[in-house]
Amino acid sequence: MKVILITGASSGIGYTAAKLLAQQGNQVYGAARRAEKLAAIKEFGAIPVSLDVTDEASVQAAVKQVIDQAGRIDVLINNAGYGSYGPVEAVPLNEAKYQFDVNVFGVASVTKAVLPTMRQQHSGLIINISSVGGRVTSHFGDWYHASKYAVEALSDALRLELKEFGINVSIIEPGGIKSEWGGIAADHLEKAGQGTAYAAQTKKSATALRKQFSNPMMVADPSTIAKTVAKAVKSSRPKPRYLPGMVAKSMVCLHTILPTRWFDRIMLMAN
């Protein structure tokens, strides 16, 4: 049994991973900003924790709760995330900063809070749920991709500096997931473009985004990602990166082998 703290556990990947890990016999603490949304995780034995990753006091209180109750933290899964699309020129900077607060500084804040305990144990695993969007950039995803690229770099640096303390760092890079995220991102994109020079382009891209997330061939079920998370948790030597799903693998492969202008053309055609 491992003691696991997972953020963003009220829905999607976080909820599904919390359920699977608890059913496998781990002591799972599922965290989310709105505690009332965590009632369902009690059904499979997970323990709800109120946690806003953008609030330092909330982070410290949540980690203290886990340590006080369980005495240790073996695995931290940084899953909480926020996605908002729109042209750089049209997206207010406070919106861009909030995306970084959740996706980057939130990851750093929770990680910093658990590290003293993991160093004392001389063991631990940090799993950062990034995205294929941290390797490949799509149309009008500017700030979202920037935040996920930052998570990739942060994770790579952490992996190097924590090795001597017996702490592993893994990144999981899903592609599209069956969830409300695609529709919400499309709505944000279309709204951001309204009344701007990008209105026609953003409307077209929003329509393509909705189609992508409604196509079962283009999106993976959250259970696929949850199984990848569980695989990393159980591994005695977790991989630095996991790229689940054929769509994600194909995109990264094309991005790697094709000249940049060719790949740009493919991405523009898809939108």
Give the Cα separation of 4 and 14 in Å (integer): 12
Separation of alpha carbons 78 and 163, rounded Å: 19
Alpha-carbon distance of 163 to 160, in angstroms, equals 6
Q: Which of 15, 29, 144, 149 is catalytic?
A: 144
Helices (H), the chain: 12-23, 56-70, 93-100, 106-121, 142-162, 181-193, 199-214, 222-234, 246-257, 260-270
Contact 61, 164 (CB under 8 A): no
Query: How many whole angstroms separate alpha carbon 80 and alpha carbon 125?
Result: 17
DSSP string across 149-192: HHHHHHHHHHHHHHGGGTEEEEEE----BSSSHHHHHHHHHHHH
Amino acid (1-letter code) at residue 63: V
**CA distance linking residue 41 with residue 30, whole number of Å:** 7
144 flagged as catalytic: yes
Report the amino acid identity of residue 35.
Answer: A
Kindly list the catalytic residues: 144
